[in-house]
């Protein structure tokens, strides 16, 4: 298993923060709306009309890191924040950014199966390295057999075709034979 660089770790953390932020945003947009989370009727008027050049002065509290991010981009940072909000609004109206009714941040059962297979192969590789060093661990081998058994059960439950199965037959025979 390869180690993640600091940059990759930061990107992954940002991705998870983004997913959480979008989930919270959709929940906030959904609060108080009727009809199961669909776009409010008033938004259709906004989408069909031209951009309103008139600006409203408001007091808005933003997270300090968000303000710092935009300020570092130079002057007119408030205009850029407005552009980002407009882009989100238009993407949401165009249904480019999906709404709460069709967003799922949880991996599907099939995705969990493939992630499990990836983890299984990583553990097999680690076990092979241990064996090459003369350190055979029966507990680890038992753990791998359990993992494989679970993955095979998932293949059956998911009704995967032979082409969709990620574990080669030879490996199954080697472990269970």
Alpha carbon distance 70, 32 (integer Å): 31
Alpha carbon distance 117, 128 (integer Å): 16
Per-residue confidence (pLDDT) for residue 97, from 0 to 100: 73
Question: In which domain, by residue range, is 61 found?
Answer: 6-102
Does 1 map to a domain?
Answer: no
Q: Is the dihedral of CA 24, 29, 31, 33 positive or negative?
A: negative
Angle (nearest 5°) at CA 156 between 126 and 142: 30
Q: According to the per-residue pLDDT averaged within each range, which of 19-23, 43-47, 54-58 is highest?
A: 54-58
Q: Give the chain's length.
A: 177
Does 55 map to a domain?
Answer: yes
Is 123 within 8 Å of 171 (Cβ atoms)?
no
Domain final position from 66, 82, 102: 102
pLDDT at 137 over 90: no
Residues 25-51, mean pLDDT to the nearest whole number = 58
Q: Are residues 98 and 113 in the same domain?
A: no
Per-residue confidence (pLDDT) for residue 42, from 0 to 100: 63
pTM of the model: 0.43
Residues 85-98, mean pLDDT to the nearest whole number = 77
Q: Are residues 84 and 17 in the same domain?
A: yes
- Of all residues in the chain, the percent with pLDDT exceeding 90 is 7
pLDDT at 35 over 60: no
pLDDT at 154 over 80: yes
Q: Are residues 85 and 149 in the same domain?
A: no
Does 162 map to a domain?
Answer: yes
Phi and psi at residue 74, in whole multiples of 5°? 110, -165
Q: Are residues 45 and 122 in the same domain?
A: no
- Res. 24 pLDDT band, cuts 50 70 90: low
Alpha carbon distance 26, 57 (integer Å): 25
Is 117 within 8 Å of 166 (Cβ atoms)?
yes
- Res. 134 pLDDT band, cuts 50 70 90: confident
Number of domains in the chain: 2
């Amino acid at each position: 298993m390869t180690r993640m660089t600091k940059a990759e770790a930061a990107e992954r953390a940002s991705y998870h923060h983004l997913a959480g932020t979008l989930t919270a945003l959709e929940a906030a947009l959904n609060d108080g709306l009727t009809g199961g989370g669909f776009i409010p009727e008033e938004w259709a008027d906004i989408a069909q009309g031209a951009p309103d050049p008139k600006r409203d002065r408001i007091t808005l509290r933003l997270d300090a890191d968000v303000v710092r991010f935009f300020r570092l981009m130079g002057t007119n940072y408030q205009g850029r924040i407005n552009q980002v909000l407009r882009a989100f609004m238009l993407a949401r109206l165009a249904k480019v950014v999906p709404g709460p009714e069709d967003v799922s941040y949880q991996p599907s059962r099939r995705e969990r199966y493939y992630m499990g297979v990836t983890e299984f192969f990583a553990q097999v590789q680690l076990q092979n390295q241990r064996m090459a060093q003369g350190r055979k661990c029966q507990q680890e081998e038992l753990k791998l057999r359990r993992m494989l058994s679970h993955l095979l059960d998932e293949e059956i439950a998911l009704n995967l075709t032979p082409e969709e199965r990620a574990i080669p037959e030879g490996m199954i025979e080697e472990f269970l034979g």
